[in-house]
Amino acid sequence: MTEVRFHREIYRGTAVDEAVKALAAYATFDLAEEKDHWVVRVSAKDARRERRVAGELGNYALGLTVKARGAR
Amino acid sequence: MQGFPDELVAVDLGSAAISMRVDATLYPLDALYGAAYVFLDRCYVLLDRPTPTETRVTLSWKKGEPPEGALRALAGEFANELLSCAWRSKINEENRAMIEAATAQALGGAMGPPSLDDLEKFDFTDEAFEDPLGIAMSWEEKYGKKADGTSATRRGPHKEPK
């Protein structure tokens, strides 16, 4: 299991949610909230796939956050 | 890592990743977003804020093991891009008022010709402007035939037909 922590001041919660939905077919996601972070636990069939999905999740969430910020 | 301050850059060879600590007071979030966005197609980018004055950038190699020196190059390019974005952000902030004024003027001009109501309110009582060169005169007034059949006087060189 790989844990990805998205800081609330940097990432939009809606962007993280949307990224999880977009990648739902490639791994199992478990979402949790902490005081400063959105926490996503990624589980896939092997470590290599898990690393890749976790990385793509981070990029997807960051891309959507930047896009949303530019559209303000 | 050679060429970078130890307290700012850390390399994790095991996970083929590099972490950089960035001073949040020097580099605004917009600059970080801009720089990170450029690298999304080349590596996995994760931003975090361990302390209120510090942002941590983690760049992970996408496929396989990175070639020799690739992580160092990635860190250097990211640092350069970040500086460029921060500078652009500052220029944009300083020129914001001027850009807004120019945009407002352009939009005002694009609103089209005045309406009849606008013309009705317009003050036409000002005296006509002086026109010593006859520029405001129409072509017919200037060169057209007069009532007696002769043409009006032409200015400039005039050749008689052969």
Alpha-carbon B15 to chain mean position:
39
Q: Is residue B20 part of a domain?
A: yes
Return the pLDDT at B160: 55
Which ipTM was obtained for this model?
A: 0.92
Instruction: Lay out the sheet containing A37-43: strands in order across.
Output: A2-7, A37-43, A28-33
Instruction: Supply the range of the domain harboring residue B16.
Output: 9-97
Residue B162 lies in a domain: no
> CA A24, CA A44: separation in Å to the nearest integer?
11
pLDDT tens, position by position, for chain B (162 residues)? Answer: 666 776 676 777 667 888 989 888 888 999 999 999 999 999 999 999 999 999 999 999 998 788 888 888 888 899 999 999 999 988 988 888 888 888 888 887 777 777 888 888 877 776 666 777 777 777 787 777 766 666 655 555 555 555
Assigned CATH class of A2-70: alpha beta
| Chain A interface includes B36 (CB < 8 A) | yes
Number of domains composing chain B: 1
Judge: B45–A65 Cβ closer than 8 Å, yes or no.
no
| CA-based nearest distance A53→chain B, Å | 10
Whether A56 contacts chain B with CB within 8 A: yes
pLDDT tens-place string over residues B56-91: 999 999 987 888 888 888 888 999 999 999 999 889
Asked whether the beta carbons of residue A62 and residue B49 sit closer than 8 angstroms, the reply is no
Please check whether residue B81 touches A, CB under 8 A: no
pLDDT of residue A71: 59
Report the C-alpha gap between A64 and B39 in whole angstroms.
14
Is B125 inside any structural domain? no
Window 18-37 of A, Cβ < 8 Å to B: 36
CATH number at residue B47: 3.30.70.60
Mean pLDDT of A57-72: 88
Alpha helices (H) in chain B, listed in sequence order: 29-39, 70-94, 96-109, 116-121, 139-143
CB contact under 8 A, B44 and A56: yes
Query: How many CB pairs (< 8 A) connect A and B?
Result: 44
Q: How far apart are CA B46 and CA A10, in angstroms?
A: 10
Task: Establish if B102 belongs to a structural domain.
Answer: no
B59 assigned to some structural domain: yes
Q: What is the pLDDT of residue B148?
A: 67
Instruction: Examine residue B160 and state whether it is found in any structural domain, yes or no.
Output: no
Kindly state the tokens that stand for B79: 């640092």
Task: Give tens-digit pLDDT for A9-63.
Answer: 999 999 999 999 999 999 999 999 999 999 999 999 898 899 999 999 999 999 9
What would the two tokens of residue A72 be? 């303000």
pLDDT of the residue at B142? 76
